[in-house]
Amino acid sequence: MTLLSKKHIDYVVNLNSEMSKQSYEHWLSEHLRMNGLYWGIMTLVTLKSLDSLPRQSIIDFVLSCVDKRSGGFGAYPQHDGHILSTLSAVQILSILGALDELDKESVIKFTKNLQLPNGSFQGDSFGETDTRFVYTALSILSILEGLEEELVNKSLDYLKQCENFDGAYGMRPGAESHGAQVFTVIASFAICNRLDLVNDKLSSWLSERQVKNGGLNGRPEKLPDVCYSWWILSPLAILKKLKWIDLSKLEQFILDCQDDEGGVSDRKGNQTDVYHTCFSLTGLSIINDELYEGNKYDMDSIDPVYCMPYSATKTFKPWPYKS
């Protein structure tokens, strides 16, 4: 099977016009709207087709989701600010070259205020915590050049406590290792320039995620799911261990999860969605860079730390900042 680029582009563009017609049934639920927009945009970026969406109306929509009370972004206008939609908003504006339109200080303050004494982060002021939010916060602050030593050190201390005997990481100290969590921890270490903290056992654990049909799972004994083509492959890319899995077999698994009508599903034959479309194609882009010097799939290169195009991330200031 070949890559159905044109179909995937149309799929994302149609999702966007369904939205503007206020017809939600083909889209995600409203509370995921800002994340969904980011997934759609990353699909188009990867396929070098960002200009298929109207740039200014996207910027206007994102800016209309600012929650003036908290300083963060909601998933939708008039929603409370949440750290996940704030990262998506910052990523989208950065990809579109529109970060200047952002009140950076308010977003930095919103993000810093969500850190708890143990180093973890809340998603919003209502107290829901999830260790993925540590990465979310570090990524926002890195993009906006708002990292600070104490915040970084507390975050790293917390993430280290989430390491398990197998060298991988769980959602909180003592919780079972999980592929998505590994991405957030390794990318956090990369943002903080502390990849020396990675356990040597981790690359084996990551490579053991590949099952017979070439797909990757998130935990031992689980079915493969195409989104792990990003969550597992990106830490391997950061650690420069891509050769530890069979990339050609994974490539075939990803292509098989495509729908003839556009979009990608978690496994072959299932219902497509924009989340799995995004993370299958960003994963395929890593494979494309690694296996094909000639850019076989005509894709843009994606930074495995930020899940954004290198064209956006190359200007980010590395930590620690030089005064």
Distance CA 205, CA 319 (A): 28
| Residue selected from 67, 124, 163, 225 as contacting Zn ion according to rule CB under 5 A | 225
Cβ proximity to Zn ion, 33 vs 276, nearer residue: 276
Among all chains, which residue has been given the structure tokens 């970084």? 152
Distance CA 11, CA 249 (A): 25
C-beta separation of 50 from 41 below 8 A:
yes
Q: Choose one: 19-27, 177-185, 224-232, 294-302; the region binding Zn ion (CB under 5 A).
A: 224-232
Q: Is the peptide bond before 320 cis (omega within 30 degrees of 0)?
A: yes
Cβ proximity to Zn ion, 48 vs 222, nearer residue: 222
Candidates 186, 172, 121; CA nearest to 151 is 121
Cβ proximity to Zn ion, 227 vs 239, nearer residue: 227
Cβ proximity to Zn ion, 147 vs 227, nearer residue: 227
Distance CA 188, CA 121 (A): 13
Q: What track of x and - describes contact with Zn ion for positions 177 through 216 (by CB under 5 A)?
A: ----------------------------------------
Q: Shortest Cβ distance from residue 102 to Zn ion (Å)?
A: 30
Q: Shortest Cβ distance from residue 72 to Zn ion (Å)?
A: 26
Q: Shortest Cβ distance from residue 218 to Zn ion (Å)?
A: 8
Q: Choose one: 82-90, 118-126, 181-189, 221-229; the region binding Zn ion (CB under 5 A).
A: 221-229
Q: Shortest Cβ distance from residue 226 to Zn ion (Å)?
A: 7
C-beta nearest to Zn ion: residue? 227
Q: What track of x and - describes contact with Zn ion for positions 281 through 320 (by CB under 5 A)?
A: ----------------------------------------
Q: Choose one: 44-52, 86-94, 171-179, 226-234; the region binding Zn ion (CB under 5 A).
A: 226-234
Q: Shortest Cβ distance from residue 270 to Zn ion (Å)?
A: 10
Q: Choose one: 74-82, 116-124, 219-227, 304-312; the region binding Zn ion (CB under 5 A).
A: 219-227
Q: Does 227 bind Zn ion (CB under 5 A)?
A: yes
Among all chains, which residue has been given the structure tokens 């206007």? 60
User: Can you say how many angstroms the Cα of residue 69 is from the centroid of all Cα atoms in its chain?
Assistant: 26
Cβ proximity to Zn ion, 119 vs 224, nearer residue: 224
Neighbours of 195 (CB within 10 A): 12
Cβ proximity to Zn ion, 67 vs 225, nearer residue: 225
Backbone angles phi, psi at 56, to 5 degrees: -65, -35
Cβ proximity to Zn ion, 107 vs 284, nearer residue: 284
Q: Choose one: 77-85, 120-128, 180-188, 227-235; the region binding Zn ion (CB under 5 A).
A: 227-235
Candidates 35, 103, 94; CA nearest to 67 is 103
- Binding to Zn ion in span 247-276, by CB under 5 A: 266
User: Can you say how many angstroms the Cα of residue 152 is from the centroid of all Cα atoms in its chain?
Assistant: 20
47-to-42, 56, 124, 215, 304 alpha-carbon distances in Å: 8, 20, 33, 21, 16
Number of residues that bind Zn ion (CB under 5 A): 3
Cβ proximity to Zn ion, 124 vs 225, nearer residue: 225
Distance CA 313, CA 138 (A): 14
Candidates 132, 186, 214; CA nearest to 304 is 186
- Geometric angle at alpha carbon 225, from 220 and 230, rounded to 5°: 95
The residues, ordered by sequence, that sit 6+ positions from 219 with a Cβ below 8 Å of its Cβ are 176, 177, 178, 179
| Binding residues vs Zn ion (CB under 5 A) | 225, 227, 266
